[in-house]
């Protein structure tokens, strides 16, 4: 499935803080987004207020499995993955990776808007995987 994915400005700031040992918690949670979500590097709609973050039907922010992998060189890419299971009907438009478990809080590493809405029904599974390569442009 094609999708739009964008690192956020705050994501890069957080990486710098983590590298300097001053960033606090690492990215650890994925939250899903509803209808008005847009994917942009300023992360204007989803992260700051949590207004468009889904908190129901099995899609509330959840702990992610965090790993590193190779894109260009060993361990240059951070990957966050979580499989959500719907507990009711829910349209999901995208997701974001955060360093906090609480809706509306934390810094986003990246956001992702799906190419098409995912109309989930009870017991449907949706795996969200976000990747961010750390590199110098």
Residues 14-67: tens digit of each pLDDT: 666 665 555 555 778 898 888 777 666 655 555 455 678 899 999 999 999 888
The model carries a pTM of 0.79
Q: Are 33 and 94 in contact (CB under 8 A)?
A: yes
| Average pLDDT over every residue of 116-131 | 96
Domains of the chain by residue range: 3-133
Greater model confidence, 87 or 48: 87
* pLDDT for position 74: 76
Please name the residues in contact with 108: beta carbons below 8 A apart, sequence gap of 6 or more.
Answer: 8, 10, 11, 43, 46, 47, 96, 97, 98
More confident residue, 60 or 132: 60
Helix/strand/coil for 39: coil
Mean pLDDT, the chain, rounded, equals 80
């Amino acid at each position: 499935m094609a999708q739009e994915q964008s690192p956020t400005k705050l994501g890069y700031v957080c990486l710098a803080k983590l590298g300097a040992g001053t960033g606090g918690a690492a990215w650890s949670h994925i939250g899903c987004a509803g209808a008005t979500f847009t994917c942009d590097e300023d992360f204007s709609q989803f992260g700051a207020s949590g207004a468009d973050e889904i908190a129901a039907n099995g899609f509330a922010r959840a702990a992610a499995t965090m790993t590193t992998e190779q894109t260009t060189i060993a361990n240059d890419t951070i990957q966050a993955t979580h499989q959500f299971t719907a507990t009711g009907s829910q349209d999901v438009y995208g997701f974001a990776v955060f360093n906090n478990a609480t809706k509306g809080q934390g810094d986003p590493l990246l956001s992702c808007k799906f190419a098409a809405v995912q109309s989930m029904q009870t017991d449907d599974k949706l795996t969200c995987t976000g990747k961010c390569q750390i590199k110098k442009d």
